[in-house]
Amino acid sequence: MKSKPVNEEDIINAFRRGDIIIFPTDTSFGIGCIISNPVSIERLYKIKGRPEGKPSTILVSNIEMAREYAIFDNRALLLAKGFWPGPLTLVLSSGNLAPNFIKGEGGTLGIREPDHDLLKTIIDKVGEPILGPSANFSGDNPPYNLSTIDKKLIGMVDYVIEEKCGGQQNSTIIDLTNNKMSLVRKGPI
């Protein structure tokens, strides 16, 4: 595992290689990889102890990227335009570009544009979303400070981006599938 001050190009290349990286967001620290690499995603889920088939949120750099991977109706567009970038995750029906191995039950996808400039720049330059669950073992509390990330978890990843997190609360999750709007998780919005 390499932990060092941020060198954007190193991190971009690490994501493109399929490395597993701990990174800051506007909510908690995340752990992730690019969404197009099933081997990396399988490794990520094993590291976290996350059950297979339990979907994770993908993080995008902008609404345009999000619309390539999920189907946005008028409600989703209004919410995204009103609260992105920010701590709002939308559960939507997945689009054609979303790999099957990241979809939830019924072909759904959690998607979010974080309000974290460095992370958005990295995602944009990588050229695809990253899978972004919280940087903890499945069932543990999410970390909001680098010092609270489990050292064992840190030892299992390829890189840690040493930057501050922007928040102290997980994102709000709203499910917009099946022509309904339901609150899945209460958060700052």
Query: 61: domain CATH number?
Result: 3.90.870.10
User: Read out DSSP for 122-154?
Assistant: HHHHHTS-EE--BSS-TTSPPPSSGGGS-HHHH
The CB density around residue 61, as the number of other CB atoms within 10 Å, is 22
Confidence (pLDDT) at 105? 84
Q: Considering the entire predicted model, what is its pTM?
A: 0.94
Quick: pLDDT tens for 163-178. 989 888 999 999 999 9
Considering only residues 85 and 7, tell me which one the structure prediction assigns the higher pLDDT.
85
Quick: pLDDT tens for 1-60. 555 556 899 999 999 999 999 999 999 999 999 999 999 999 999 999 987 767 789 999
Which range of residues forms the domain containing residue 45? 2-185
Residue 63 is given by DSSP the state H
- Report the Cα 9 to chain-centroid distance in Å: 20
Residue 185 phi, psi (nearest 5):
-145, 130
Total count of domains within the chain: 1
| Residue whose pair of structure tokens reads 């995603």 in the numeric block | 41
Confidence (pLDDT) at 101? 87
The CB density around residue 112, as the number of other CB atoms within 10 Å, is 27
